[in-house]
A and B are shown apart, each in its own frame.
Chain A
Amino acid sequence: MKYKPLVLVVEDDTPIRRFMVAGLSTQDYRVIDVESAASGVSQAASHAPDIIILDLGLPDRDGIDVIRELRVWTQAPIIVVSARGQERSKVEALDAGADDYLTKPFGVAELLARIRVALRHLARSSLGMSESAEFRAGDLLVNLNNREVTMRGEKVHLTPTEYRIVTVLVRYAGKVVTHQLLLTEVWGPESSSETQYVRVFMANLRRKLEPDPARPRYLLTEAGVGYRLMDE
């Protein structure tokens, strides 16, 4: 029998929790749902879920705190759920160890997509799999062996820094990458905190990689948070 990943949903609003459970159960997931941070932490400890969906606005505890506590002993991906306009708390959550986020309101399709990405990354790292030599999304192909990026089969010329950004985005494909993380990964931990660099390069990169700027398809901007390389 096929293994069904276990999802822990921590959300205090009943209708939202209900639709998440409904959406997940019809797919191949087992679900535990709780409505407080306290029971979320205890359920996570006793059931060791494969993935945790955590609402940032829980009544009993600060969500960022919960993430920090969970991260002490579990590597299970954490996806936080928060409202729009709270970009700062999203960045904080990601810095505290969350893997990704969902902005309310969201649909089931979006929820499932985020979970798939998170599980894929988890599988890759837990199996100790080296990153595959090739990344493909739509017409975009990144060949990490011969350092080549092609769009619709045509070679795209990138500067060294742009290429390095692409490799970082490929490593986190599907997940959101904050400005700060990109800065550290590309320019090194010693680099200044000026995330403007990143933005300039991303702007140029998008111009080279997006065939239709009216419909950004590969390099998505998450306003106020960072970037996401689509992989589906």
Chain B
Amino acid sequence: MRCLYLFQQLRYVLNAGLNFLRRTVGPLNQATITLLSLGLATSLALGFRSVGITESSIVLLYLLSVVIASVLAGRISGIVASLVAVVLFNFLFTEPRFTFVVSDPQYLVTFPVLLIVALISSELTGRIRKQAEEAQRREFLTKQLYESSRALLGAQGQEDVAVAAANHLSGLIEQFVGCFVHKGVRDLPFITPEELADIEEIHEKASALLRQPYSPVSTKLTVLNSPWMLTPVGVHDRTLAVLAIRIRGDELSPVDRESIRAVVVQLALALDREEMSRREQNARIETERERLRANLLQSISHDLRSPLTAIVGSASAILEENRISETTRLELIRTIRDDARWLTGLVENLLSLTRAEAKSVQFSGNVDILEDILSSALGRIEHIHETHTIEVNLPSEPSFVQMDSGLMEQLILNLLGNAVQHTPKGSRIAIGIRREADRALVTVEDNGPGLSERALEHAFERFYTERAIADAQRGMGLGLSICRSIAEAHGGTISVHNKPEGGACFVVRVPVYDAELLNEVPDGTEQS
């Protein structure tokens, strides 16, 4: 173990040294390196010769210079160095010196052996060098892949993934990198960074590539004198994204190419994963919606029948039965009116439901005053005063809320209706508005029996009903769930709790519209 560790340490040190050498020597060209190492060997050899060291050692010196040349400058340089070394050795050190003539026949063995040894060692060192380079390249690639995948894993949703990929790649290759990716179902792509959308040629070309079936071929184009590369990212035949890379200088370096390839692979995987999870989620939502729709239909048809039966029955009784007393007749007519009113409420609620779920009011509603809507709602349910005491608490400052006024009114009506329905006659219902930081709160409290444990948990679920107290009332467990839909469509929440002193308290929280407007309201001129 320890041995292995030491070995690794050693390899690390060697690698670092080699890298350092290569980095400092790198800029020099291969010929210079070869010349330098041969020159160094020659001058050393001349020195050695003058102190009487024999030619066999000089041969070794030349061999060393060949190895150095092939390590630092590659295989070709090694071969060239081998040939030059033999020639130099012949010219400078063998008798007669400074000629290419050889007097001693033993050199006829020395030269070829020197040449062969030099060639073999340069070949071997060249190969080792290449392997080391390959290993390093692989290590670099693995690291790149790992880092890109880590950068992309942290992102959620297509757009985040695109941003992460562009930023990551831009950091790696130190170039401007943008990314085009599909956005939802619409035709327009999501573009990061945003300013890329302003470069028309790129915008157009990249959008076109995004719509085309995937092919791994990059497109080059020149915009404002700088070259760009558009690289599609895809799986099978689907193009998932297009990377837009500005190329500084003439060409991308091999390292940059590798970086780009790594990011492209990871980006494709990440986007594919995103798309799959989104599709799964859509399927789940669709199933849930289907289920709700079926429930809703069932529940409505059931709840429509009872008031309709009452209306038809009462009307036919009045028409066909002429011995009916005046009091009974009036009662029947009142039933017709009340049930028709109930049906109206049901229809309003169903319409509200579809409207609340179809859109987010936050971005489409007008700005209105919550107190106005409360007042309007109260005006619509005059009959509430016949059975209950209503108390209203308004703040001194009006609360502006971006809203769909019809839906908001429905929410208040439903909460009041719910309170009436679940409290005995003569109960007190308090409705109030107050502020809490950037939220406006609508509270509806009563002094009735409160909600059961189960009801507290399920109150806002569709089709959940508790037995109403007033037995003439019908409930289909829609009102409060619609309240929730409406509150959420306004970017708000709804909750319910039992008050310690008894009775239920419903709280709706919705975001307040920019309150600065209030300060800008101009008051009229003086009263003349």
Q: Interface of A with B (CB < 8 Å)?
A: 84-85, 87, 105, 147, 159-161, 163-164, 186-187, 194, 196-197, 199-204, 206-207, 212-216, 220-224
Say yes or no: B527 contacts A216, CB within 8 Å.
Answer: no
CA distance A194 to B518 in the complex (A): 11
Selected from B375, B400, B406, the residue in CB contact (under 8 A) with A221 is B375
Say yes or no: B517 contacts A196, CB within 8 Å.
Answer: yes
A213 — nearest CB in chain B belongs to which residue?
B392
Say yes or no: B378 contacts A200, CB within 8 Å.
Answer: no
Say yes or no: B527 contacts A105, CB within 8 Å.
Answer: no
Say yes or no: A196 contacts B524, CB within 8 Å.
Answer: no
- Excluding A213-B394, A215-B390, 16 further A-B contacts by CB distance (< 8 Å) are A85-B355, A105-B340, A160-B527, A161-B523, A164-B524, A186-B524, A187-B522, A201-B521, A202-B372, A213-B375, A214-B391, A214-B431, A216-B375, A222-B376, A223-B376, A223-B405
Can you sample 14 A-B contacts with CB below 8 Å? A85-B348, A147-B527, A159-B524, A197-B521, A197-B522, A203-B369, A206-B375, A207-B394, A212-B392, A213-B375, A214-B378, A215-B378, A216-B379, A223-B406
Contact with A along B307-342 (1 / 0, CB 8 A): 000000000000000000000000000000000110
CA distance A207 to B426 in the complex (A): 26
Say yes or no: A87 contacts B379, CB within 8 Å.
Answer: no
B525 — nearest CB in chain A belongs to which residue?
A160
Asked if B344 is an interface residue, CB under 8 A from chain A, the answer is yes
Asked if B147 is an interface residue, CB under 8 A from chain A, the answer is no
Say yes or no: A224 contacts B368, CB within 8 Å.
Answer: yes
User: What distance in Å separates the Cβ of B244 from its nearest Cβ neighbour in chain A?
Assistant: 42
A-B interface, 9 closest residue pairs, ranked by CB to CB distance from nearest: A161-B524, A160-B527, A224-B405, A221-B376, A203-B398, A223-B376, A214-B392, A223-B405, A214-B390
Asked if B305 is an interface residue, CB under 8 A from chain A, the answer is no
Say yes or no: A223 contacts B390, CB within 8 Å.
Answer: no
CA distance A216 to B368 in the complex (A): 18
CA distance A131 to B523 in the complex (A): 26
- Identify which of A87, A187, A200 gathers the most chain B CB atoms within 10 Å of its CB: A200
Given the complex, which residues of A lie within 8 Å of B409, measured CB to CB? 223
Say yes or no: A160 contacts B526, CB within 8 Å.
Answer: yes
Say yes or no: B391 contacts A200, CB within 8 Å.
Answer: no
CA distance A222 to B344 in the complex (A): 18
Q: Interface size on B (CB < 8 Å)? A: 40
User: What distance in Å separates the Cβ of B59 from its nearest Cβ neighbour in chain A?
Assistant: 98
Say yes or no: A85 contacts B523, CB within 8 Å.
Answer: no
Say yes or no: A224 contacts B406, CB within 8 Å.
Answer: yes
User: What distance in Å separates the Cβ of A224 from its nearest Cβ neighbour in chain B?
Assistant: 4
Given the complex, which residues of A lie within 8 Å of B255, measured CB to CB? none
A164 — nearest CB in chain B belongs to which residue?
B524
Say yes or no: A199 contacts B369, CB within 8 Å.
Answer: yes
Given the complex, which residues of B lie within 8 Å of A203, measured CB to CB? 369, 371-372, 398
Given the complex, which residues of B lie within 8 Å of A220, measured CB to CB? 375-376, 379
Say yes or no: A87 contacts B405, CB within 8 Å.
Answer: yes
User: What distance in Å separates the Cβ of B434 from its nearest Cβ neighbour in chain A?
Assistant: 14
Selected from A84, A187, A196, A206, the residue in CB contact (under 8 A) with B348 is A84
B337 — nearest CB in chain A belongs to which residue?
A107
A191 — nearest CB in chain B belongs to which residue?
B522
B341 — nearest CB in chain A belongs to which residue?
A105
Given the complex, which residues of A lie within 8 Å of B522, measured CB to CB? 187, 197
Given the complex, which residues of B lie within 8 Å of A161, measured CB to CB? 523-524
Given the complex, which residues of A lie within 8 Å of B521, measured CB to CB? 196-197, 200-201
Asked if B385 is an interface residue, CB under 8 A from chain A, the answer is yes
Selected from B369, B375, B524, the residue in CB contact (under 8 A) with A160 is B524
CA distance A85 to B408 in the complex (A): 11
Asked if B25 is an interface residue, CB under 8 A from chain A, the answer is no
CA distance A187 to B525 in the complex (A): 10
**B484-528 at interface with A (beta carbon < 8 Å):** 517-518, 521-527
User: What distance in Å separates the Cβ of A88 from its nearest Cβ neighbour in chain B?
Assistant: 10
Asked if B373 is an interface residue, CB under 8 A from chain A, the answer is yes
CA distance A201 to B522 in the complex (A): 10
Contact with A along B408-444 (1 / 0, CB 8 A): 1100000000000000000000010000000000000
A202 — nearest CB in chain B belongs to which residue?
B372
| A105-B351 contact given A159-B523, A213-B375, A214-B391, CB 8 Å threshold | no
CA distance A212 to B518 in the complex (A): 25
Given the complex, which residues of A lie within 8 Å of B172, measured CB to CB? none
Say yes or no: A221 contacts B344, CB within 8 Å.
Answer: no
B348 — nearest CB in chain A belongs to which residue?
A84
Given the complex, which residues of A lie within 8 Å of B377, measured CB to CB? 223
Say yes or no: A215 contacts B385, CB within 8 Å.
Answer: yes
B409 — nearest CB in chain A belongs to which residue?
A223
CA distance A204 to B398 in the complex (A): 8
Given the complex, which residues of A lie within 8 Å of B524, measured CB to CB? 159-161, 164, 186-187
Selected from A164, A221, A224, the residue in CB contact (under 8 A) with B379 is A221
Asked if B33 is an interface residue, CB under 8 A from chain A, the answer is no
Given the complex, which residues of A lie within 8 Å of B392, measured CB to CB? 212-214
Given the complex, which residues of B lie within 8 Å of A215, measured CB to CB? 378, 382, 385, 390
Given the complex, which residues of B lie within 8 Å of A221, measured CB to CB? 372-373, 375-376, 379
CA distance A206 to B373 in the complex (A): 13
Given the complex, which residues of B lie within 8 Å of A224, measured CB to CB? 366, 368, 405-406
Given the complex, which residues of A lie within 8 Å of B525, measured CB to CB? 160
Given the complex, which residues of A lie within 8 Å of B400, measured CB to CB? 196, 199
Say yes or no: B398 contacts A200, CB within 8 Å.
Answer: yes
Asked if B300 is an interface residue, CB under 8 A from chain A, the answer is no
Say yes or no: A200 contacts B369, CB within 8 Å.
Answer: yes
Asked if B367 is an interface residue, CB under 8 A from chain A, the answer is yes
Given the complex, which residues of B lie within 8 Å of A199, measured CB to CB? 368-369, 372, 398, 400
Given the complex, which residues of A lie within 8 Å of B355, measured CB to CB? 85
CA distance A204 to B523 in the complex (A): 12
A186 — nearest CB in chain B belongs to which residue?
B524
CA distance A220 to B376 in the complex (A): 7
CA distance A161 to B344 in the complex (A): 39
Given the complex, which residues of B lie within 8 Å of A163, measured CB to CB? 527
CA distance A207 to B390 in the complex (A): 17
Given the complex, which residues of B lie within 8 Å of A206, measured CB to CB? 371, 375
User: What distance in Å separates the Cβ of A160 from its nearest Cβ neighbour in chain B?
Assistant: 4
